[in-house]
Structure 1
Amino acid sequence: MEYDLLKIEYVKALKLSGFKTDIQVHITVKLKEAIDAQNLQVKLVSNPKGFNQIDKRWVDKYVEMWNIPVDISTILKRYTGEIKPNILAPKDKRRMFANEFSEKEQSDILLWLNNNQSFIVSDILKGRGQFAAEWMLVTQKTKSDSIWILKPMNFCLNYFGNGIVEMTERGNFKIGKITMQRKGGDGGRNTANMLQYKLNPAELFDIE
């Protein structure tokens, strides 16, 4: 964070919940009246290929956040399973995969994702308001050691979110290095029909 360690008088970390910021660090600098506050998002990874959920909500929550039009929200709800498939013989009777939508629907959803890419990436990674995350701290434990890396959130927004928007071979959507998919799991509970976003924070270890 580019502080002069010799000038730091006191550091206190506060754990938060319900925000993109997991830890808020208060830094008291000698001869400085104000206390700096830095918001950190913490990602714990167990292996180099471990994917990490960065956001999950019901589609209607995203509709409120991003003013998603009805035709796009309907596609997303069929994708997650809130609305059952409207095609014959879907691969999964509970939901539809990206490549099972009509060509027009595929074009519409990809266009909408492209047009709103920056808003989506910022909200699911950084968040908004007083507790928006300013840094990403990634830690990984191995049998013999533990490593960590700290990157500014603006760097992470560009690294993870600035790629192309596309459909994957498995029938999901990707926004740069971020995967958008049906949550699934949850023992068959209806929360499996939520929309989630995932990425691999361990990739930051490979950046020089």
Structure 2
Amino acid sequence: MTKKSGSQIAKEGFQSERDIAHKFNNWKDDEDSRQWLEIMGYKLDEIKSVKSLTIRNNKTDIQVQILKKDSEHIDAHNIQVKSLSNSRGFNQIDKRWIDTYQKMWKMPDNIAKLLKYYTGELKRSDIEKNRMYLNEFSSQQQEDILNFFKDNKIWIICDLLRGRGSYTTEWILVVQKTGKTRWILQPVNKVINYYSEGEVFITPKGNLKIGKVSMQRKGGDKGKKSANMLQFKINPAKLFEI
């Protein structure tokens, strides 16, 4: 059913997460949200009410609360929204300081230190450049980095896409606005499995590929310290192909 929904064409109401929450709240008259509810496993004639609200500063952008006619229990579903304006654009899924990732993933000190050289948070005294690329490290150092991400691949991608805590993502809604707007709604476990496919390797440009997830230095920010954060990206448009 989620595969079939991928080619559905929407007419309007996809400008922001708030618009999508409004579509859920207007589920009785909104065709897109009715299809979303069916994808999520509900029979429309069994639904008593739907309430949707936006969530800030979490992996989840929208929480949809559903009450069925035969139950007093409210089902809460957390949805992450990815909006695309083109077919090839990469979308940031996570960005933090390396110290934070070290705590999250129990990263060894030597790996954290190498990644700080990679982002430019630490500077080596024996070179003039502000940062290093992964393919500039020694063969052993590159192997150590690769082994860490290989050994923790699924755990890491789960954190990047689903997150932790009370607002962990259950569904990912991708909205692509190129000419006609289309959307696809996929369960997060399926999304995690998809982006986990593939090897862990250092790219020719000296960045890291973890399955279908790209890791790189954040950069930009007009030279601010935040440019030295580590970020992870995916191409959400690929979900239309699975």
TM-score (normalizing by structure 2): 0.81
* Matched residue SS, 1:131: coil
The letter for the 2-side match of 1:206 is: E
Using the TM superposition, give the Cα deviation of residue 171 of structure 1 relative to its aligned residue in structure 2, in angstroms. 0.8
Q: State the match for 1:23 in structure 2.
A: 62
Using the TM superposition, give the Cα deviation of residue 88 of structure 1 relative to its aligned residue in structure 2, in angstroms. 4.0
Q: Which runs of 5+ in 1 are unaligned?
A: none
Q: State the match for 1:114 in structure 2.
A: 150
Q: State the match for 1:33 in structure 2.
A: 72
1:188 aligns to 2:217 (yes or no): no
1:82 aligns to 2:118 (yes or no): no
Using the TM superposition, give the Cα deviation of residue 129 of structure 1 relative to its aligned residue in structure 2, in angstroms. 2.0
* Matched residue SS, 1:180: strand
The letter for the 2-side match of 1:158 is: N
Which residue, 136, 143, 156 being the options, matches 2:172? 136
Which residue, 40, 44, 64 being the options, matches 2:83? 44
1:170 aligns to 2:226 (yes or no): no
* Matched residue SS, 1:74: helix
Using the TM superposition, give the Cα deviation of residue 85 of structure 1 relative to its aligned residue in structure 2, in angstroms. 3.6
The letter for the 2-side match of 1:50 is: G
* Matched residue SS, 1:56: strand
Q: State the match for 1:62 in structure 2.
A: 101
Q: CA offsets per residue over residues 122-161 of structure 1, 9 Å max, x none?
A: 1111011211101110001123x21000000000000012
C-alpha distance in 2 between matches for 1:157 and 1:130: 19
C-alpha distance in 2 between matches for 1:61 and 1:198: 17
Aligned-pair identity (%): 53
Q: State the match for 1:11 in structure 2.
A: 50
Q: Which runs of 5+ in 2 are unaligned?
A: 1-39
Q: State the match for 2:9 in structure 1.
A: none
C-alpha distance in 1 between matches for 2:126 and 2:148: 22
C-alpha distance in 1 between matches for 2:197 and 2:117: 26
C-alpha distance in 2 between matches for 1:196 and 1:127: 15
The letter for the 2-side match of 1:173 is: L
Aligned residues: 203
Q: CA offsets per residue over residues 50-73 of structure 1, 9 Å max, x none?
A: 100000000000011111111000
C-alpha distance in 1 between matches for 2:182 and 2:73: 32
* Matched residue SS, 1:127: coil
Q: State the match for 1:153 in structure 2.
A: 188
Using the TM superposition, give the Cα deviation of residue 120 of structure 1 relative to its aligned residue in structure 2, in angstroms. 0.6
Q: CA offsets per residue over residues 20-45 of structure 1, 9 Å max, x none?
A: 11110001111211011101011001
The letter for the 1-side match of 2:172 is: M
1:100 aligns to 2:154 (yes or no): no
The letter for the 1-side match of 2:168 is: A
Contact residue 171 and residue 186 of structure 2 kept, 8 A? yes
Going from structure 1 to structure 2, the CA distance change for 1:82 and 1:61 (only over 3 Å counts) comes to same
TM-score (normalizing by structure 1): 0.94
